[in-house]
Amino acid sequence: MPLVKISEESIRRVAEIISGGGLAAFPTETVYGLGGDAYNPAALAKIFEAKGRPRFDPLIVHIAAVEALECVADTGLLDGAARKNLAALAGRFWPGPLTLVLPKRDAVPGLATSGLPTVAVRIPAHDAARRLIMLSTGAVAAPSANPFGYLSPTRAEHVLEMLGDKAGLILDGGPTTVGLESTVLDISGGQSRILRPGGTPKEAIEAVIGPVAVGLVAGESAESVPASENGMASPGMLKSHYAPRVPLSVYGNDSPGAMPNQPGAALLFFDGASRDAWLAGQRPPVNAAAIEVLSETGDAIEAAARLFETLHRLDSSGVERIHTQLAGDKGLGAAINDRLKRAAVYPQ
């Protein structure tokens, strides 16, 4: 079984595997990553292969300290304003769930960046992750350790179930704390732009550098599904992202009452009050196979930490479909809703 608890010895083993051109999975504060040496094109090719990920979807390069940034990014190519933003953002959010898109150094193979002149970089807020990066080559490319399109892993067991022996070793650090991937912010051009909402809320970024635009990551937007107009698209035909195997539908945060009392279905409420209001509005019996809540008190941080874990569990529980209430759109709610809408077969 390639699952090992965190220790200095197991961290060294993971670092050796990665330095030797192999792959290993490890925890970060956001989700588990499938890591390979960011400077080694053969290792990068193995990552795309193991995930079944299209090569047009670039990888995030993880470093252990801000001093290593110039090894992978050429910040001298940024204009003055962007350099100031970089210093402010790195000072405030690194280590942490913020990935910055910056001009790339030649040392980073084009395979890591899908041929883009930019590289996405972050410093994870996880001691074991930073230590293994330091002990390997100092730059570890690591996408989420799941097959492309499927739910992200927030536990070592998720990685084992989904990737099996494709990860040479899985470093088990227990459940991740943030539970959602990092926010991807492009500061390489004129206007800073969020390409993927995530663990660092837009409001927190704007408090540091002022207004940012919100756009889409090229790879992810190509794979995500636009809302079908009549809701009748065939689930099997859809290419979605962050998705469970069973169909998932989403409902507005303020309209949980619309969630159907359907046999075989799991109902996932954002907060306890919405569940209670839904139950009060039902004529018994309650037919739903499972009723769950992401956060009793409606705390988006708690809900984010439990989102993928709850979806993994419901997905393997034998229910036929999942109906989910969206979060409110503020703070981490925006990232939760981004993941749920991309996972949805019948988005609203």
Site residues for ligand TXA per CB under 6 A: 28, 30-31, 33, 57-60, 97, 99, 101, 113, 116, 118-120, 124, 142-144, 181-182, 184, 195-196, 217, 219-220
CA 38 to chain centre: 19
Q: How far apart are CA 101 and CA 233, in angstroms?
A: 35
Per-residue exposure over 271-297, b if at least 16 CB sit within 10 Å of its own CB, e if not: beebbeebeeeeeeeeebbebbbbbee
59 contact choice in Mg ion, ligand TXA, none (CB below 5 to 8 Å, kind-dependent)? ligand TXA
28 binds Mg ion per the rule CB under 5 A: no
Minimum CB separation of residue 342 from Mg ion in Å reads 11
Instruction: Give the nearest distance from C-beta 204 to ligand TXA in angstroms.
Output: 16
CB of 310 to ligand TXA, least distance (A): 18
Shortest CB 59 distance to ligand TXA, Å: 5
Contact between 177 and Mg ion by CB under 5 A: the answer reads: no
Report what 142 binds from ligand TXA, Mg ion, none; CB cut-off 5-8 Å by kind.
ligand TXA
Smallest gap from residue 26 Cβ to ligand TXA (A): 8
60 binds, among ligand TXA, Mg ion, none (CB under 5 to 8 A by kind): ligand TXA
Interface with Mg ion (CB under 5 A), residue total 1
User: Do 226 and 240 touch, CB atoms closer than 8 A?
Assistant: no
- Nearest approach in angstroms of CB 284 to ligand TXA is 43
Q: Pick one of ligand TXA, Mg ion, none as the site partner of residue 31 (Cβ within 5 to 8 A by kind).
A: ligand TXA
Touching Mg ion, residues 199-258 (CB under 5 A): none
Euclidean distance between the first and final Cα of the chain, in Å? Answer: 42
302 binds, among Mg ion, ligand TXA, none (CB under 5 to 8 A by kind): none
Residues 6+ apart with CB under 8 A from 103: 73, 74, 75, 77, 78, 117, 118, 119, 188
249 binds, among ligand TXA, Mg ion, none (CB under 5 to 8 A by kind): none
User: CB-based burial of residue 123 (10 Å sphere; 0-12 exposed, 13-18 middle, 19+ buried)?
Assistant: buried
Which residue, among 240, 255, 276, 277, has the nearest Cα to 324 in the 3D structure?
A: 255
Phi/psi for 108 (5° steps) reads -90, 120
Helix (H, G, I), strand (E, B) or coil at 162: helix
Helix (H, G, I), strand (E, B) or coil at 332: helix
In terms of Cα–Cα distance, which of 3, 14, 304, 2 is closest to 130? 14
Q: Which does 196 bind (CB under 5 to 8 A by kind): ligand TXA, Mg ion, none?
A: ligand TXA
CB closest to Mg ion, residue no: 144
Q: Per CB under 5 A, does 144 bind Mg ion?
A: yes
Task: Tell which residue, 242, 206, 224, has the closest CA to residue 30.
Answer: 242
Q: Which residues here bind Mg ion, judged by CB under 5 A?
A: 144
